[in-house]
Amino acid sequence: MSAATITAPAAKPGAAEGRIGLRANLRHIGALVRRNALQIKQDPESMFDALLMPVVFILLFVYVFGGAIAGKGNQQQYVQYLVPGMMAMMGMNIAMAVGSGVNEDFRKGVMDRFRTMPIARSSVLIAKIVVEVGRMLVATAILLGMGFLLGLEIKGSPLEFVGAIALSTVFGAAVMWIFILLGLALKTPQAVQGMAFLVLMPLQFGSSIFAPTASMPGWLEGFTKINPLSNLADAARHLIAGEGPIAHPALITLAWAIAITAVAMPLAVRKFRSKT
């Protein structure tokens, strides 16, 4: 049986979306998560970005830019700085693929089929988020594995280490709602990718992910302070190092994640209902 033929369990006949109970909604999400996971199994090439992107990026930045930023021969020191920052980057890059995937599913008519089923519209999108969070965790695991090979040291406690991963995951999941909304609003996957590129580049490079911000021009340094990726990178960095201010950047990151989800999720669900 192909992944495209898997359907969510049906709710009671005639049940309106707003009256679907929590247990039924969870069953629908579970079935849709299984359908999306089977799609990945049948198309393993869709995992290439999650598997290869962390390897390419860490090698590129450590060995091409690491010497210039941290000084020749200090690449290991730069690894300690870079890897926690790149944890913040993983969610953003995986999120871009979510928007393109949703847009492609609409173009193929898959989403139209889901909308004819007696299931909560949000369950289709939540299932997408769940599977993409799994892909993001795979990418993060590979990133950390490469970091350990290049000399990364976890100086914080195991709980702080898990906290850094959890914080990156929560923020990454929140950002996915923005890209799902883009995928629903724009006409083609290419348009989604182009818009995502315009959003991602300033956020990623105008942050503390790759280099300290002290040497940046004043106007750019001001932007990095309000950039959520800077706060996430700094929080993850301090958690892994086991020292430094953690509460402030972590709380700012969580506040951004909550605000993004509160705004983008209902807009995405509404757009999913009305999209033609």
Per-residue pLDDT of the chain (276 residues; tens, 9 = 90+): 344 444 444 444 334 445 677 777 788 888 888 888 888 888 777 788 788 888 998 988 888 877 777 666 667 788 999 999 898 888 888 888 888 888 888 887 777 777 777 777 788 889 889 999 999 999 999 999 999 999 899 998 999 999 999 999 999 999 999 999 999 998 888 888 888 888 888 888 888 888 888 778 888 888 888 889 999 999 999 999 988 888 999 999 999 999 999 999 999 989 888 876
Rounded Cα gap, residues 195 and 217, in angstroms: 26
Q: What angle do CA 233, 68, 231 make, to 5 degrees?
A: 10
Residue 181 dihedral angles phi and psi, to the nearest 5°: -60, -40
Q: What angle do CA 18, 22, 24 make, to 5 degrees?
A: 90
For residue 233, the model assigns a pLDDT of 93
Number of C-alpha atoms within 13 angstroms, CB side, residue 223? 10
For residue 73, the model assigns a pLDDT of 66
Q: What is the pTM of this model?
A: 0.84
For residue 66, the model assigns a pLDDT of 77
Count of Cβ atoms closer than 10 Å to residue 5 Cβ? 8
Rounded Cα gap, residues 246 and 254, in angstroms: 12
From residue 14, give the alpha-carbon distance in Å to each of 20, 29, 115, 126, 256.
Answer: 10, 19, 14, 23, 39
- The encoded tokens of residue 74 equal 């200090």
For residue 9, the model assigns a pLDDT of 44
Count of Cβ atoms closer than 10 Å to residue 71 Cβ? 11
For residue 158, the model assigns a pLDDT of 93
Region of 72 on the Ramachandran plot (φ > 0 left; ψ -120 to 50 alpha; else beta): beta
For residue 41, the model assigns a pLDDT of 81
Alpha-carbon Rg for the chain, nearest whole angstrom, is 20
From residue 264, give the alpha-carbon distance in Å to each of 51, 74, 131, 179, 270.
Answer: 28, 41, 18, 9, 10
Strand segments (E) across the chain: none
